[in-house]
Amino acid sequence: MSAGSWQARVYAALKLARIRQVGYVPDAGHAHLIEAAHADPDMRAVVLTTEEEGIALTAGAWLGGERAVLLMQSSGVGNCINMLSLPVNCRMPFLTLVTMRGEWAEFNPWQVPMGSATPTVLAAAGVQVRRADSPADVAEIVAASAALAFDSAVAVAVLFSQRLVGAKGFEK
């Protein structure tokens, strides 16, 4: 992760937001962030078996006075819906960074239905949805979304567009 890359600036935004726990289901688009979180002695990176675990992890972290973030891919959003009742009901902050699939030069058609549904189902579940399309403003959007989530105690998802992250190649 080079120092000036948008990934490095997103990581710096999470540091500034005092994020201490990072739950993740791996995604190539989050690989830099996951590596940085594991290497950071002030962050605890927690690998999950499924994304809804991360909602409960972030709620537990907040209950104990720490800020957490969930990193996942759009396919995982569908796994989270009922668990989102936890932060919404308890008026807890919730922040997730979602790498999008199924919307830009997608090779795998199985990614398209959930990718298309992601912003709608998040909004329906009570989550504020923001979208980052360009390297120039993604870190600013993450910083503002973290402020919204933690200062106003609401659930916020930042969607990293597939164009921003780069479509996954399936070369044989």
- Residue 86 contacts residue 92 (beta carbons within 8 Å): yes
Residues 6+ apart with CB under 8 A from 168: 28, 101, 107, 108
With CB under 8 A as the contact rule, the residue among 27, 53, 138, 159 that binds other proteins is 53
- Residue 40 contacts residue 33 (beta carbons within 8 Å): no
Q: Is 78 in the site for other proteins (CB under 8 A)?
A: no
Binding mask 110-149 for other proteins (x = CB under 8 A): ----------------------------------------
Whose structure tokens read 């999470």? 14
Helix (H) or strand (E) holding 7: helix 6-16
DSSP helix/strand/coil, 10: helix
With CB under 8 A as the contact rule, the residue among 1, 12, 34, 56 that binds other proteins is 56
Q: Which is nearer to other proteins, 20 or 32 (CB)?
A: 20
With CB under 8 A as the contact rule, the residue among 50, 108, 120, 134 that binds other proteins is 50
Query: Contact residues for other proteins (CB under 8 A)?
Result: 20-21, 44, 46-50, 52-68, 82-83, 85-86, 89-92, 150
